[in-house]
Amino acid sequence: MSTVEKPWSGRFTEPTDVFVEAFTASVGFDQRLYAYDIQGSIAHAQMLAHVGVLTHEESAQIVQGLREIEQDIREGRWQWSIALEDVHMNIEHRLTEKIGLVGKKLHTGRSRNDQVATDIRLYLRDAIDEIGRELRRFLEQLAQLAETEAETILPGFTHLQSAQPVTFGHHLLAWCEMLLRDQARLRECRRRVNVMPLGAAALAGTSYPIDRAYTATLLGFESVAENSLDAVSDRDFAIEFAAVSATLMMHLSRFSEELILWSSAQFQFIELSDAFCTGSSIMPQKKNPDVPELVRGKTGRVYGHLFSLLTLMKAQPLAYNKDNQEDKEPIFDVIDTVRGCLKVYADMIPAIRVNREKMRAAALAGFTTATDLADYLVRKGLAFRDAHEVVGQVVRYCVVNAYHLEALPLEVFKQFSAEIEADIYAVLTLEGSVAARNHFGGTAPQQVREAIIRLRERW
């Protein structure tokens, strides 16, 4: 049985079972909240002095003690105790050891329920800002590569089959659009995270004359939770963050899949830097794209945490329940995973080497300008469906006779349509194809460069 006196031990006649003590403790993982717990406690103590519940001398003594504890933890002069359950009780216990009775006054007007909810929101707010900075850096690297490759042509795919020529810059800007949506969702999520639950106490508020707006200002919260029951039991913000992160990871996973394909011997569109690849223990020729593969794999990890949090909350009655101790490890791991994946991608993108010749050769194969031929016939007066049929017949002829579309002799073209003239060859060039898509959102190099200008204004 445990012999450490708990802050709540007055109600109990037996000490906590040793295994139960370890089983229910969260300090092994919630200790990473220590700086935010101290930040929240300092603001709480200052507010209590502001409203007259503590004297200013008592508040100053508490604040000084907490700052010394923070320094001890940061510099490694600290021993966490499982017997004290969590980060909050560890810090409060040490504060009382340092400054005596005054330390016991810190918890006036609050509960661990609103305390932990505040800590998590403070922590997650900073984590979202960190993730946002890495996301911005990744966007900047993609935009730079897109600008460099604004005229590079490769096949665009549907069903992973060659479809139409596009510029590599345009393709990369598609990823930027996904990341911009992720950025917007993160910002919206942060706004809902930045609501202060402190002052809700256990569930019903407190009888002390607290000033929640004052505390919120000290902690940088934009607003104060309206309902005390909801304030301590709400984990929507954590679920929303996990959902935003899952969407972001889905985008990174799709990008990973393309990088893996493009760097293969079958494509050879790009080469990843050796710094972001590994070799094989048995096959000396191998250069494995481990970074994008691992990012693709970590996507499932984040999905799992989203479902874990949804399941955690799905049947909880109001208000706080011990189940909510299980919210922290998923949140922490989502933060670590997303932040790490974005960092490695932002670092890796500038080191990608583009094989423009291979991309161009792939675009020449697969009859990617067939739609341009159909559009040419429509401009000559054919209905699109009739033009589509003619081009299908031309492509079939090219397949049987091993011709590239742009190499087919004019006399053969005329066998399929008398409307086809010598000007068709300008239409069927890769450059002519992409240049023809010169409209807002199109793949033409001019549009890519204009889109990059707008992109840099949007982030």
Give CA–CA dist 342/251, Å, rounded: 11
Q: Which of 159, 233, 251, 263 is catalytic?
A: 159
Q: Which of 19, 295, 238, 46 is nearest to 123 (CA)?
A: 238
SS3 content of the chain, % helix, strand, coil (to 5): 65, 5, 30
Give CA–CA dist 172/169, Å, rounded: 5
* Contacts of 308 by beta carbon, 8 Å cutoff, 6+ apart: 326, 330
Chain centre distance of CA 265: 30
Give CA–CA dist 193/118, Å, rounded: 10
Let me know if 111 is a catalytic residue: no
- Residue written as tokens 């930045």? 194
Peptide bond into 225 cis (omega under 30): no
Q: Which of 360, 371, 358 is nearest to 163 (CA)?
A: 371
Distances (CA, A) of 151 to 171, 438, 454: 11, 13, 18
Let me know if 88 is a catalytic residue: no
Name the β-bridge partners of 165.
Answer: 155
CA-based end-to-end distance of the chain: 57
Cβ(173)–Cβ(451) below 8 Å? yes
The length of the chain in residues reads: 459
Give CA–CA dist 145/221, Å, rounded: 38
Ordered DSSP codes for 245-261: HHHHHHHHHHHHHHHHH
Name the β-bridge partners of 32.
Answer: none
Give CA–CA dist 204/353, Å, rounded: 60
Q: Which of 280, 404, 417, 439 is catalytic?
A: 280
Dihedral sign (CA 432, 438, 444, 449) = positive
Cβ(349)–Cβ(324) below 8 Å? no
Give CA–CA dist 78/94, Å, rounded: 10
Give CA–CA dist 141/265, Å, rounded: 25
Helix (H, G, I), strand (E, B) or coil at 271: strand
The residues annotated with a catalytic role in the active site are 159, 280
